[in-house]
Structure 1
């Protein structure tokens, strides 16, 4: 029975360490919009009622898109009093209400229409879209496989240069799994479309034509192999 080679390098079983990388450009799968609904008035109750009505308008419109709306979440909510600037008495000049909503769509055909309709609502602001990939996107697995294949190919090239060949894999690790510096992903790009505060309109505005921004998927692995004795 032949003993297996050790996991550490020796003259008889040298170890070769390599890094495999992959960088893919893929089409986005989701588009995220941030929506801010606002209201302002001199009476707290009326301001809250206006804010509630406008918030419901946004939510009902978003829900009408069915499966195209992958995620709909309400964030911060606030009603803030604005005191008068004159006099010593603590009097309230007005109340400001605000609700933040996040909408994530996976159907880009509906995205332009939805963005325009939201921007057309009174006292409603929409920012975005921010393009992205789903957490379980197959693009991530594809990038990881390509990174592993590159690591194997690079190790074989080193072994071939020495007249040797690979005999065993002793370690395969994601970048960062060995106390190495974590992978740096590209910063999110600026939104390709943006609409400001909407207002009442006599007729529906045309849908925005939004061009999806391709995404960069990056994977990197460290691999260590044992190879046969080199021919020096």
Structure 2
């Protein structure tokens, strides 16, 4: 039995939706001449941050500590003048409408800086499924065009693979701690949600006259 011809294509689609999640990256950094005191200050500032985040827990998702560091600080002539201690905490904001409020509240803490929000489209957003379906339709149209160009037609499906994509871009802002902070209204931009699939079809045998032209 002769081999059955196959058509392998990539289907693509993209849509734009408003983000439904955001990330904040919060850094606490303290300095002191004594290493022990720097670590004590860091623990105090981190507790203040944790308490503030707990007060906003209804608007938040996961909160995790990404990094902790303590290192000597060089002064004049390269001599050690003190110690620096830092923590980095990643905060997922489930309610995008509260992202500005949370960012400003955190930025109001002492020895704290905030980077974000990093807008995201969560994996659970229905746009992902919709764009994958559109990518499949794109692949089907391409495969039909290829088969028709050889005087044939599609006869079956062999395999479909999700070729992946990304969950939206990021728009960020940075805030440093201050004694008073203004109200901040953020307007997240629509995020691109792409879909890509690789599909293999079987097709009828091509018209031999195509190769004689």
TM-score computed with the length of structure 2 as normaliser: 0.82
- Structure 2 runs not aligned, ≥5 long: none
Deviation per residue, 1:22-77 (Å, 9 max, x gap): 11112112111111111112233332222111111111111211231111111221
| Alignment partner of 1:226 is 2:167 | no
CA 109–226 in structure 1, closer or farther in 2 if over 3 Å, else same = closer
1:198 corresponding residue in structure 2: 177
> Pairwise mapping of residues 43-192 of structure 1 onto structure 2 (< 5 A)?
43-82=34-73, 85=76, 92-159=80-147, 164-175=152-163, 188-191=169-172
Give the C-alpha shift of residue 113 in structure 1: 1.1
Q: Secondary structure at the match of 2:52?
A: helix
Question: d(CA) in 1 for partners of 2:95 and 2:3?
Answer: 50
Deviation of 1:104 after TM superposition, in Å, equals: 1.0
Does 2:11 align with 1:20?
yes
> Matched residues in 1 for 2:3 and 2:39: separation?
68
Q: 1:124 to 1:157 in 2, by over 3 A?
A: same
The structure richer in strand per residue is 2
Q: CA RMSD in A?
A: 2.9
2-side partners of 1:170 and 1:28: how far apart? Answer: 35
1:34 aligns with 2:25: yes
Gaps of 5+ in 1: 10-14, 176-182
Q: Distance in 1 between matches of 2:51 and 2:92?
A: 15
Aligned residues of 1:23 and 1:216 also touching (Cα < 8 A): yes
Quick check: which has more Rg, 1 or 2?
1
Decide whether the 8 Å contact of 2:24 with 2:91 is kept in 1.
yes
